[in-house]
């Protein structure tokens, strides 16, 4: 089962030019991205959800902790998350490949 939601492009709502209405689309990638960016407590309905990746920026040696947190949060959100890959450049830029799919 896929995650359908109102379609966005770059955090902006997409309005279909023909119908003039919102589009509904599979938004798994957006849902995963939002879960990674959000800090716990951002969503009132699920205050424990969120990884808060910006807290890990410029912190060396935290890749395993971050990978575990990513896997826990995405699994709790209904994704099958197999071995997320975390890479960090010397200037602190994080690259995350969550390897998550919705079964």
**Residue written as token pair 């709790």:** 76
Output the six-digit token pair for 17: 């030019």
Which range (2-11, 57-66, 77-86) has the least confidence?
2-11
Report the Cα 28 to chain-centroid distance in Å: 9
Is residue 12 exposed (0-12), middle (13-18) or buried (19+ Cβ within 10 Å)? exposed
pTM: 0.75
- Length in residues, the chain: 103
pLDDT of 76 higher than 50 = yes
Q: Which domain holds residue 33?
A: 4-101
Q: CA-CA-CA-CA torsion for 47, 50, 54, 59, nearest 10 degrees? A: 100
pLDDT value for 1: 44
pLDDT value for 51: 93
Angle 48-27-88 from CA coordinates, rounded to 5°: 65
Asked whether the beta carbons of 2 and 28 are under 8 A apart, the reply is: yes
**What's the rounded mean pLDDT across residues 51-73?**
87
- The number of distinct structural domains making up the chain is 1
Average model confidence (pLDDT) for the chain? 84
């Amino acid at each position: 089962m896929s995650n359908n939601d109102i379609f966005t492009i770059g955090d902006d709502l997409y309005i279909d030019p023909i119908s003039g209405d919102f589009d509904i689309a599979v938004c798994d990638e957006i849902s995963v991205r939002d879960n990674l960016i959000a800090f716990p407590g951002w969503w009132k309905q699920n205050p424990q959800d969120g990884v808060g990746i910006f807290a890990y920026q410029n912190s060396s040696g935290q890749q395993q902790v971050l990978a575990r947190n990513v896997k826990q949060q995405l699994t709790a959100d209904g994704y099958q998350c197999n071995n997320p890959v975390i890479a960090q450049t010397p200037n602190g830029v994080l690259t995350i490949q969550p390897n998550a799919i919705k079964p």
